[in-house]
Amino acid sequence: MDRETLSIVITGHVDHGKSTLIGRLLLETGSLPKEKLVEIKKISDKLGKETEIAYLIDQFKEERIKDMTIDTTQIFFKTRKRDYIIIDCPGHLELIKNMITGATLAETAILIIDCTEGIMEQTRRHAYIISMIGIRNVIVVINKMDLVNYNQKKFIEIETAINAFLKTLDMEPCFILPISAKDGVNITKKCSKLNWYNGPSFLKALDMLKPSREKANRSLRLPVQDVYDIEKKRVLVGKILSGSLVKGKEILVLPGFAKAKIADIKIFGKKPKKVSNRENIGVTLDRDIDVKRGFVIVDKESANRLEDRFQCNIFWMSKKPLEINKPFSIRCATQEVNCIAEKIERKINSSTLEIVYDNPDKVGLNESAKVSFKTERPIVIEEFSRLKELGRFVIEGDSTLLGAGIIT
Amino acid sequence: MNYLSELENKTIYIIREAYSRFRNISLLWSIGKDSTAMLWIARKAFFGKIPFPVTHIDTNYKFKEIYEFRDKYAKIWGLNLLISRNSTAIESGMGPKTNKFECCNALKTIALKDTIKQYNLKALLLAIRRDEHGIRAKERYFSPRDLNFKWDYQNQPAELWNLYKAGLNDEDHLRVHPMLHWREIDIWRYIEREKIPVTPLYFAKNNLRYRSIGCETCCMPVKSNANTIKKIVRELETTKTAERSGRAQDKEDTYTMQKLRSLGYM
């Protein structure tokens, strides 16, 4: 009875209809409690508006008065095929941090485009962020087709343009389809108004997606999350990111290169013989070595995975810019280390994707860049495409998030 | 790994992350199904013995079944139980008849404020879930609260992947939500799988059962004949009634929940 789940983030420019699409999906799949419908009708009446299905998602009073999504939210619904977790995001540039927060929780992305406006600034920026954080499954929906009388020419025009743009990001959408979220056209079923369209409805397209699963990597990576003293033993806890562990296995603890054997594997209420990736476990070692949070347990063949210089793509989210040779810290899994940018190789505008030439020593708010980082001490990293959790990091200063990075 | 184990593993990771950041934390246990499931997982995270106190906010208006359950399992599970009560307000007669908003705020939020101050708590583990209320769906896993307990919901910090907020700046404490990604039906399937004890209030008697439990004065049972966990799961697979439909404080005004939460309510 274990059903598959798929998490989907809905992205796109301001007012292109993200929240309305989700509201419509919930309505047509019968996923709503009756009282919810009565409630939004009442609220819409009070605000003197037509019944606004976006209010199912936009729950803050401020969101309803201003008719805009402020923060990311999640909604659940199911089809016969699987369970869905839908993540809604704000479309405003000022709220990009909330959009990224939502997007990092998703496996799949929907990019919505208003056919009367076409590709806009946040359409491009959201597409860029989706590609940067490694979401490969993308569906483009071209919305508000009712406003152009379901004109096929208009659809093809936008389809061609978005395909060309996504190609520059090395992205190929799984589907591009016309809809009207407001009128419920081509959401769960086709409609005679779209007799020129032969593809699947939006819901059918969702069900046709194949979840992208990371290839299992065999080398052991276990970043130490904490050390507990339990019954006079030091128990190292953490989440296995790749590989597996058995009792007696010889391991290395990086960055110190200390060798040890696994004395015992601990999961409460069980006596596991073997544990593998994604499990949160505890281990004890056969000898007393210095281990603390941020150290990484690896198999003895992986001694060469420590780096103190690497190249990465970063997205900057702070008003205070990144500057060359000015210290900040990064966190990658449980590792935390001081760091500087030695070189900014290339800086781009995250919407137009044009190279930015001014202030070559700084990366400013909402800019993206390819940079060379140097850390104060070596850490265990991987290319993002090989192992996500050791290939991504956050950049911080004074406990505040400044940006995000992907190791290339 | 199956779906429930995925959810459980994520929760263990978040609980351990909160504890590794601040040793001085507490788990909020309302004795309801969600926080009892969280408590169960916290016991797993720490191999049977939770190394920090578990707080029960006692409004004095809870069901007698809740008090019985609390005292029984606090003993069996070896919990360090803190009971958080706003005695001044209780003695001066504060109750839901005065005003529901005032009552929730005084007996829950203010009681909690005092406990945080008294024990110098830096983070609280709360079992709220995104699918129970639209406002809760907007929450982060690690959510800062300022000195006045305000939830600055219009300007929440970014939270990327599982790289949760590391420390506190000007904030008073962090709210940590290890169950945020669970749905109501997942909780019941997990309770079934793990054989977690829950209070009998959830099971139907005379065609009525509680789906969400708080104070006796402000909770209404829903129509149901689900008198076993299996039947509850089956009921949830098809129901069109909202989980908190029996909770009065959500109803008073459309934005009561938002107002309560912005002041520090759970």
* Residue contact A39–B254, C-beta within 8 A: yes
Tell me, yes or no, whether B7 and B139 share the same domain. Answer: yes
Question: Which residues of B fall within a CB distance of 8 Å from A400?
Answer: 157, 169
Q: Is A196 on the interface with B (CB under 8 A)?
A: no
Residue B189 counted as domain residue: no
Q: Tell me the pLDDT tens digit for each residue of A233-274.
A: 999 999 999 999 999 999 999 999 999 999 999 999 999 999
Number of residues that make up chain A: 408
Helix (H, G, I), strand (E, B) or coil at A140: strand
Question: Which residues of A fall within a CB distance of 8 Å from B156?
Answer: 71, 98
Question: Which residues of B fall within a CB distance of 8 Å from A365?
Answer: none
Mean pLDDT of chain A: 90
Tell me, yes or no, whether B243 and B258 share the same domain. Answer: no
Q: Is A48 on the interface with B (CB under 8 A)?
A: no
Q: Tell me the pLDDT tens digit for each residue of A128-149.
A: 999 999 998 999 999 999 999 9
Q: Tell me the pLDDT tens digit for each residue of A85-115.
A: 888 888 787 788 889 999 999 999 999 999 9
* Residue contact A399–B167, C-beta within 8 A: yes
Tell me, yes or no, whether B53 and B106 share the same domain. Answer: yes
Number of structural domains in chain B: 2
The H or E element spanning position B50 is none
- Nearest Cα of chain B lies from the Cα of A170 at a distance, in angstroms, of 23
Tell me, yes or no, whether B113 and B125 share the same domain. Answer: yes
Tell me, yes or no, whether B116 and B235 share the same domain. Answer: no
Question: Which residues of B fall within a CB distance of 8 Å from A72?
Answer: 138
- Nearest Cα of chain A lies from the Cα of B117 at a distance, in angstroms, of 23
Residue B112 counted as domain residue: yes
Tell me, yes or no, whether B203 and B228 share the same domain. Answer: yes
Q: Which of A64, A221, A201, A80 is nearest to A141 (CA)?
A: A201
Interface of A with B in 216-245 (CB under 8 A): 225-226, 228, 230, 235, 237, 239
Interface of B with A in 176-215 (CB under 8 A): 183
Radius of gyration of chain A (CA): 24
CA–CA separation, A360 vs A369, rounded Å?
10
| Residue A84 bridge partners (DSSP) | A6, A77
Tell me the HSE value of A353 on the side-chain side, using a 13 A CA sphere.
16
Tell me, yes or no, whether B166 and B208 share the same domain. Answer: no
Domain of residue B202 covers 198-248
Phi, psi of A77 (to 5 degrees): -155, 170
Residue B188 counted as domain residue: no
Q: Is A32 on the interface with B (CB under 8 A)?
A: yes
Question: Which residues of A fall within a CB distance of 8 Å from B141?
Answer: none
Lowest mean pLDDT among A156-160, A171-175, A396-400: A396-400
Instruction: Provide CB contacts within 8 A for A357, sequence distance 6+.
Output: none
Q: Is B2 on the interface with A (CB under 8 A)?
A: yes
The pLDDT value recorded for residue A1 is 53
Of A72, A225, A401, the CB nearest to B157: A401
Residue B50 counted as domain residue: yes
Amino acid identity, position B218? C
Q: Which of A75, A81, A67 is nearest to A24 (CA)?
A: A75
* Residue contact A71–B160, C-beta within 8 A: no
* Residue contact B166–A60, C-beta within 8 A: no
Tell me, yes or no, whether B226 and B97 share the same domain. Answer: no
Question: Which residues of B fall within a CB distance of 8 Å from A239?
Answer: 9, 13
Residue A207 Cα to chain centre, angstroms:
20
CA–CA separation, A101 vs B157, rounded Å?
9
**Beta strands A328-332 and A392-397: pairing type?**
antiparallel
Q: Residue B154: how many CB atoms within 10 A of its CB?
A: 12
Tell me, yes or no, whether B169 and B243 share the same domain. Answer: no
- Nearest Cα of chain B lies from the Cα of A400 at a distance, in angstroms, of 8
H helices of A47-195, where? 61-66, 96-103, 121-132, 152-168
pLDDT in tens, chain B (266 residues): 899 999 999 999 999 999 999 999 999 999 999 999 999 999 999 999 999 999 999 998 888 999 999 999 999 999 999 999 998 988 888 888 888 888 888 889 899 999 999 999 999 999 999 988 777 888 899 998 887 777 777 778 899 999 998 777 777 899 999 999 999 999 999 999 999 999 999 999 999 999 988 888 888 899 999 999 999 999 998 887 777 777 766 665 667 777 777 777 77
- Segment A297-314 mean pLDDT: 92
The pLDDT value recorded for residue B31 is 95
Burial status of residue A1 (CB atoms within 10 A of its CB: 0-12, 13-18, 19 or more): exposed
Q: Residue A131: how many CB atoms within 10 A of its CB?
A: 17
What six digits make up the tokens of B61? 């208006």
Q: Residue A196: how many CB atoms within 10 A of its CB?
A: 12
Residue B132 counted as domain residue: yes
Tell me, yes or no, whether B178 and B207 share the same domain. Answer: no
CA–CA separation, A80 vs A90, rounded Å?
29
Question: Which residues of B fall within a CB distance of 8 Å from A61?
Answer: 254-255, 258
pTM of the model: 0.93
Task: Output the domain CATH number for residue B110.
Answer: 3.40.50.620
Residue B193 counted as domain residue: no
- Nearest Cα of chain B lies from the Cα of A127 at a distance, in angstroms, of 17
Residue B190 counted as domain residue: no
- Nearest Cα of chain B lies from the Cα of A193 at a distance, in angstroms, of 32
* Residue contact B245–A33, C-beta within 8 A: yes
What six digits make up the tokens of B8? 């459980």
Residue B192 counted as domain residue: no
Of B20, B135, B245, the CB nearest to A226: B20
Of A32, A70, A104, the CB nearest to B161: A104
Q: For the complex shown, is ipTM > 0.90?
A: yes
Q: Is B245 on the interface with A (CB under 8 A)?
A: yes
Helix (H, G, I), strand (E, B) or coil at A385: coil
The H or E element spanning position B20 is helix B3-21
* Residue contact A33–B240, C-beta within 8 A: yes
- Nearest Cα of chain B lies from the Cα of A270 at a distance, in angstroms, of 10
Tell me, yes or no, whether B205 and B149 share the same domain. Answer: no
Q: Is B172 on the interface with A (CB under 8 A)?
A: no
The pLDDT value recorded for residue B74 is 98
- Nearest Cα of chain A lies from the Cα of B215 at a distance, in angstroms, of 23
Residue B108 Cα to chain centre, angstroms:
12
Tell me, yes or no, whether B232 and B113 share the same domain. Answer: no
Q: Tell me the pLDDT tens digit for each residue of A312-370.
A: 999 999 999 999 999 999 999 999 999 999 999 999 998 888 899 989 999 999 999 99
* Residue contact B154–A70, C-beta within 8 A: yes
Question: Which residues of A fall within a CB distance of 8 Å from B135?
Answer: 59-60
What six digits make up the tokens of B56? 């029960």
